[in-house]
Structure 1
Amino acid sequence: MAGFSLLGVEGWLVRQCAQMGIGKPTSVQENCIPAILRGQDCLGCAKTGSGKTLAFVLPILQKLAEDPYGIFCLVLTPTRELACQIAEQFCVLGKPLGVKDAVIIGGMNIVQQALKLSRKPHVVIATPGRLADHLRSDSSFSLKNIKFLVLDEADRLLEEGDTDFSEDLQEIFKAIPAQRQTLLFSATLTDTLNELRDLTLNKPFFWESKEPVRTVDELDQRYILVPDQVKDAYLVHLIQRLQDEHEDWPVIVFTNTCKKCQILNMMLRKMNFPSVALHSLMHQQQRLATLAKFKSSIFKILIATDVAARGLDIPVVQVVINHNTPNLPKTYIHRVGRTARAGRKGMAITIVTQYDIHLVQVIEEKINTKLKEYPTSEKEVLKIATQVNVARRECEIKLEETDFGEKREINKRKNLIRQGKDPDEEMKKRRT
């Protein structure tokens, strides 16, 4: 308990940590908390499961206690689920202060969110798109007096990609004061973050874990080399084996598209495996309900896209299965970081086809670890291969009868309109 006190954390916060079973600070907390309390900007880079969230929540709450007002702090995250999780940390640790928060994310009632913002909560935790929407359409609140801006999973927020946050971030940065403390945290250091490191902002403090490995020692990292046409049969065989040997082990299966996620979930349910799905085409209430059911062990199998790969702390997860080999090492790092957290043991198994071997080699080089082969029975797999392929095809046909694909197109059009672009013109460009 003296550990946090030595960092300058006040007694009431140390007691709150103790109630949560947190007694000893991690490396990222030891290094970043004193710098933040000194008033410095901070860029902290450490492996998943190392306690980065607490590294900014504790000093922010301590500073808030000195002069409590709203809106004191803005936290931006790339995913809705991560926003909800960070809000929980602020509420639990800030209970003695009576901390008020507002979670501003897509998929929830925008009018109710506007009402929350108008009541000046102490902390706003938001995804960039929805907060930018409020700034464009709602004048009942102001971010002009914030003391802290936090970018969690900063590499994902600042890099261009399929979900480009740049326009929304520009809108947000225009609305916040230049005089503030800016805190950036990530598990993966990118060129974008390196550029920010070089900016002389507010006595910037940079801390990166010295360990070259981006995955924890407690993680047992495996692979299964399979022919592409029986990939799903190997997945079913693997889940069956894990359930036979460890009935109470919760498992996350990651895949790379919403459609695959939905089909795999339907297929596993058809084969009597109690699973739930989590992807971005689900309504937000469904997503939150899915996470709650998995966290409380009502369901032991979660099929998810990378919306679940970033920052989520689900202590119960024992195994992560990569149904597809990630294209980028950092995606692999974030996915497998959902297990073996806070000193616990865990296992990650990646299903690798003949087309993915080069991707595995890049991942191994980045994490400085060789993946070991996970033993499977080809004979047992071939017994179920036909049954699995038939079940998958039936699920694909069933999904095609719904409006699943249309929802994706509607969401794409909405995003383009929000960016001030003509959806029809953009679609023409893509076709030419």
Structure 2
Amino acid sequence: MIVTLPFDYSITKPFPRKYGFFLLAFAILSTAAFVTINVFLVGYDVISITTTHFNSAPGLGSKIWRSGGGGTFGCAPYKFQLGDIFRTTISAFSYSIFDVQSGLDANGTPIEGEFLYANEDLSTCDVHQYEISVKPGDRLITATASIKCPGPPGRQGFQALTSWSYSNHAMRIGSLVFPANSLARAIQEGMANISAEAYADIYNKLYTTVEGIPQHVYKVVAEGQPSCDSSPPSPCVVPNFTWYNAIGNTDLNILPNASSIAADEGNLYNVINVFYAAVRLDLGHWTPDNIFTNTTSFKRLIRDTDSTNTTFRDVATSKGMAYVNSTHPPPRRAAIQIPYTCNVMRRKPIGSFVVSVLSATLSMFLGTWGVIVTVLSFIVRKNPGANTCDSDTRNERSWKDEQRMNSLPLMSYM
């Protein structure tokens, strides 16, 4: 015996096939997307490192994520203070900061005695004044230059001092610490050769008076300022000293002028010329008239003296001092070589990396999957032929079904 119960529609109704394809595509694509996102979000840790490469060290992420130390990734500017010492990327000399312009920080608070530096180009820096001193009794020649650096927009400028000393004692940084083909090595050797010519006057005891009371000279100090053409290529020259003092050793009187002593003033002028050109190269001023690279400028600006080193002059006037030992031309940009604190990404250990990515991906997928299924179920229930009815329709169908049940047999026998 078979009992048949006729109903108007089936008890269950599956999702349409097109929804099944959509869910399959969503599962594949969303899983790939969530894995990719979570590799970045949970697969890496943000750590702080110290590096000399400002915003260019591995792990700093895309440039759009960096904000000069204010964001998640990137390097914080270095804070310099009065008395700090730095070297440039060419590294021929060291510089000591002796003056900082006053300014305001981001909150409008006055800043004095310090400034922030973020790998800015030093091409705006230049030699402002130079001085050379000779102490015959100490067997010492010292050249000093002050540089002035206007700050970039929103930053303070500063001034710094650098110097070079030559003696028959090992007082300076040896040129051998620099690679043989580096510009710093060529600068050091050029300075050593030209200073050796000037030292010959000390060695030959020429720092003595030639007029008045015969006496040795205690000290000679000469100063001046460079002169640069305002129009490109803006050649610069070292004019004659604007101030020259020779102090007698007996009575400490200041002698009338450079001609009052036997030593040749031209040797000091040569040292300052080479020193000036060297500092400008160290600051990134790779100008066509620089005597380290231009043999014509060397011949024109460096004077011949009785202590001329012909071997050195032959090389300097044929190859150029900067190309001794096949020197590689340096980059045209110079910056302060300083360590920065940077936030970078580092991948977790492989075990932690896999667990973190899979856990985060599964959590995101299940949450999104639940939302998608809920939305699709709501849409299906609203479509015609769905297995749900509103209250009025349900009451009407219940009444009609009851009438039909009373008029038709519910069961048939076979």
TM-score range, shorter chain: under 0.3
Higher RCO, Cα 8 Å, sep 6+: 2
Bigger strand share: 2
Query: If the length of structure 1 is used for normalisation, what is the TM-score?
Result: 0.22
The higher radius of gyration belongs to 2
Q: Which has the higher helix share?
A: 1
